[in-house]
Amino acid sequence: MDLNSAVIGIELGSTRIKAVLIDENHQVLASGAYSWQNSLENGVWVYPLEAAVAGIRACYRELNADVEAKFGQKLRRVAAIGISGMMHGYLVLDKDGKQLAPFCTWRNTITGPAAEALTELFKFNIPQRWSIAHLYQAILNEESHIPDIARLTTLSGYIHHLLTDQWAMGVGEASGMFPYDEETNTFDPIRVAQFNALVKAKDLPWTLEQILPQVLPAGTQAGVLTQTGASLLDETGTLEAGIPMCPPEGDAGTGMVATNAILPRTGSVSAGTSSFAMLVLEKPLKGYYPEIDVVCTPSGKTVAMAHTNTCTSEIDAWVNLIANAAKVMGWPVDMNTLYSTLFHKALEGKPDCDGIISFNYFAGEPLTGTETGRPMVLRLPESKMDIPNFMRSQLYGAIATLKLGVDMLVEKEQVETDRLMGHGGYFKTPGVGQQILADALNVPITTMETAGEGGPWGMALLAAYMQRKRDGQSLEDYLQSQVFRNAKGSRLDPDPEGVAGFARYIDRYKAALAAQHAAGGMV
């Protein structure tokens, strides 16, 4: 089989690094994966960059082995490659490419003063996890590395640079570093000037525009794989240099692409380690809100984003406890079977979980003003504490904070959505997470057969678009006509009883937030 026309997409997610190889029909030919985790060091959630490099090499090695097993050959050349990663965060380097500070992930809520000050200055919400909030907080803290900064980037931008020697960024990822301006197709020049004026008294040896990456829309080329990059990715030396590479993106953008949710009045919900709802807007928001990000699709359309730092981690913790209890009793269980069984049992629970409330907060949640997360379970004395009610409460709790963010957009800005797509681990058990989210948001939720491929597939689609688009063809048209024309999906409508039950649950959830805030003082 000729693999020269195939395309590779690699995504550095929060728990897995995954690569896929797709053919000219956008079907997955082979894949590879590598597991990793962030760690809490000195109160900061970080990933070592050495682990990122080791991870993409191990991931590519597994992809190559899959190709060799299926097609009897090793990858030598492909049509294009794309890199994506966890969005935003803080990654700064000096002029020699040396890392100056720990890579802070999206999970951190340590930039409150900076985010608040910049939001007021720009009259535009700057979330705590955005790169510019981290940068300004470091300036406020008078951290010693600030004068030495030559580059401010994200994880996907860093890996892309290692492979291409180019400092570039896709629009979607860039719009989560600093506000994006649709008229100039780059970082908002007025707000860049405002930031430079804000820090002028610090007498820094750089200006913001000098350290930010070049912003490139979907469909443009962002360099080629260098010989150094090829050797870094493929330890065997088989992969050839010169392969075109598209602009690196964040996992929010690739999620939108993977679900074909990039047109106005469409949206997607990604629910895994974290969760976020991306609603593509018909018109700009009238106001700005600390709870809502304004970002862009990879092609530059404005998106309102409700983001939560934690989604399924607490579910995983309880499932592991149940598995451990079974093991202690001498009844070891298959984890896939256990997850599926417990998820289906959740649908048998009472629509309001009989008064059991679950907080899944592993970290702070800006949407609810929570600085430090503490996983909690609360219940009424008369609640029936059984597996169906408990697991339903866990599934509700995983998306409860997201629900509060979406409600704000609907109530304050009258944002309307015709189609909402779901993807991520929350939807892995067919029909369960999908139905619960439909009830929570009171809108139909669709999952697609391709959604399981997730972000790396979405990144591969962006790389394919760069190589295969017709002159003047938009990303929206390419996806609709070339990728999703015959795509199959499953739609579930809200169940009235479930909608009413979730409404009772969320009222109790909001009433119990004071307990979550108080628990933040527990050390």
d(CA 365, CA 179): 21
With respect to residue 384, please indicate whether it lies within any of the assigned structural domains: yes
With respect to residue 200, please indicate whether it lies within any of the assigned structural domains: no
Q: What is the pLDDT of residues 154-175, one digit of tens each?
A: 999 999 999 999 999 999 999 9
DSSP 37: -
With respect to residue 94, please indicate whether it lies within any of the assigned structural domains: no
Q: What is the pLDDT of residues 272-320, one digit of tens each?
A: 888 889 899 998 899 888 888 899 999 999 999 888 888 999 999 999 9
- Residue 247: which of 47, 9, 457 has the closest Cα? 9
Structural domain of residue 385, as residue ranges? Answer: 313-396+496-519
Q: What is the pLDDT of residue 450?
A: 60
With respect to residue 343, please indicate whether it lies within any of the assigned structural domains: yes
Q: What is the pLDDT of residues 125-157, one digit of tens each?
A: 999 989 999 999 999 999 999 999 999 999 999
With respect to residue 358, please indicate whether it lies within any of the assigned structural domains: yes
Q: Which residues contact 401 (CB under 8 A, 6 or more apart)?
A: 308, 365, 367, 368
With respect to residue 325, please indicate whether it lies within any of the assigned structural domains: yes
With respect to residue 53, please indicate whether it lies within any of the assigned structural domains: no
Q: What is the pLDDT of residues 484-521, one digit of tens each?
A: 988 888 899 999 999 999 999 999 999 999 999 999 87
What is the residue-averaged pLDDT of the chain?
93
| Residue 118 CA: distances (Å) to CA of 71, 121, 184, 363 | 53, 5, 21, 22
The pTM of the full predicted model, rounded to 2 decimals, is 0.83
Q: What is the pLDDT of residues 166-222, one digit of tens each?
A: 999 999 999 999 999 988 999 999 999 999 999 999 999 999 999 999 999 999 999
Count other C-beta atoms under 10 Å from residue 49's C-beta.
17
Q: What is the pLDDT of residues 51-74, one digit of tens each?
A: 999 999 999 999 999 999 999 999
- Residue 481: which of 263, 325, 285 has the closest Cα? 263
CB 75 within 8 A of CB 239: yes
With respect to residue 357, please indicate whether it lies within any of the assigned structural domains: yes
Number of folded domains that form the chain: 1
| Residue 254 CA: distances (Å) to CA of 9, 61, 173, 182, 291 | 10, 23, 10, 20, 22
